[in-house]
Amino acid sequence: MKGSGRHTPQQIADTLRERIRAGVLRVGERLPTQADLAEEFGVERGTVRQALRVLHEDGLLSNVSKGSPPRVAEPGPAREEPQPTMVALAPRLTDAFAAPHVRIDAVCLTAQSLIPALGEPLRLIHDGRLRPERIDVRILLPSRDINLAFPVSVDAGSDEDAVHQRWLAMRNAQGQVLQYNLQALRGTHDIDVHVAFRALPFTPPAKLYLLNGAEALYAYYMVTRRAEPTESGTLEMYDTLGSESLLFSFEKRTGRRDAAFVEQSQKWFDALWETITTDLTLS
């Protein structure tokens, strides 16, 4: 039967996965050897190795490629429930800043959530408890020249410019603060820091944060009607409170589907960044 190719790597992985779930293969127990599995399924060892990699990426196997049969892994922690951006983003950024080379990519409406979330990793850097060697931050924010989908005035044509100018002032001020706080690390801690902004030609329907290419944080913007007091009166608008948007986390280490989402999100961001050649002016 060997070499007949009647089973694909995915089919073999699914069969072994079911044995693990049913308790036929228990936590900590070694799998049969690749030779035994190849004989059982009538395939080459290379096909078995591919199947084992699939299960390893799903977090079901440990000690893969160690020279002896892998073991059934301990169950991973349950995925956390999504939390508001203001709650979830800061600890994720703090973990990301523990890397020697920090890479943060973001697509958002403004930098409103990023500024307070960066407070803790910056504090730990100043305290000497974190010491990255390089920080690269790339942020895509909407262009000032487009008609935003939100925020917009409740009454079409009324106060449209005031609503747009309010958003633009927030975008610019927050971006400047973020840029200054990060670039100041060059002088205070001799860290190689690069911060760049580019102008999106559309309103992002969701926010996306990519941390060191290993985690993707994603949240849909929820649009609501609200009133904003100003010196000249009250602006009635449809807007979103980005800090309250529920943030979903996808990590490479938690499974194949999560890993695929992270990788595809990073590829999408990189392609969009290269396509957009207009640098954002924060003024």
* Domain 9-72 is found in CATH 1.10.10.10: yes
Give 189-224 pLDDT, tens digit per residue: 999 999 999 999 999 999 999 999 999 999 999 999
pLDDT surpasses 90 at 257: no
What is the rounded (10 degree) CA torsion for 260, 266, 269, 271? -90
Query: Over the chain, what is the mean pLDDT?
Result: 90
Q: Does residue 54 or residue 197 have the better pLDDT? A: 197
* Count of CB atoms situated within 10 Å of the CB of 173: 15
Phi, psi of 230 (to 5 degrees): -135, 175
Q: What is the pLDDT of residue 67?
A: 66
Residue 3 scores a pLDDT above 60: no
Residue (of 134, 86, 95) closest to 114 by Cα position: 86
Distance CA 237, CA 224 (A): 8
Residue 174 pLDDT > 90: yes
> Angle 281-163-198 (CA atoms, 0-180°, nearest 5)?
20
pTM over cut 0.95:
no
pLDDT above 70: residue 12 = yes
Question: If pLDDT is split at 50, 70 and 90, which confidence band does 236 have?
Answer: very high
Lowest mean pLDDT: which of 69-78, 90-99, 271-280?
Answer: 69-78
Residue spans of the domains in the chain: they are: 9-72, 83-279
Is residue 71 within 8 A of residue 28, CB to CB? The reply is: yes
> Do the beta carbons of residue 16 and residue 29 sit within 8 Å?
no
Q: Which residues contact 156 (CB under 8 A, 6 or more apart)?
A: none
The C-alpha atoms of residue 96 and residue 215 are separated, in whole angstroms, by 9
* Amino acid (one-letter) located at 135: I
86 has pLDDT over 70: yes
Percent of the chain surpassing pLDDT 90: 69
* pLDDT tier, 2 (very low <50, low <70, confident <90, very high otherwise): very low
pLDDT tens-digit map of 157-173: 778 899 999 999 999 99
Q: What is the pLDDT, as a whole number, of residue 80?
A: 65
What is the signed CA dihedral for 172, 177, 183, 189, rounded to 10 degrees? -170
User: 113-155, pLDDT tens digit by residue?
Assistant: 999 999 999 999 999 999 999 999 999 999 999 999 999 999 8
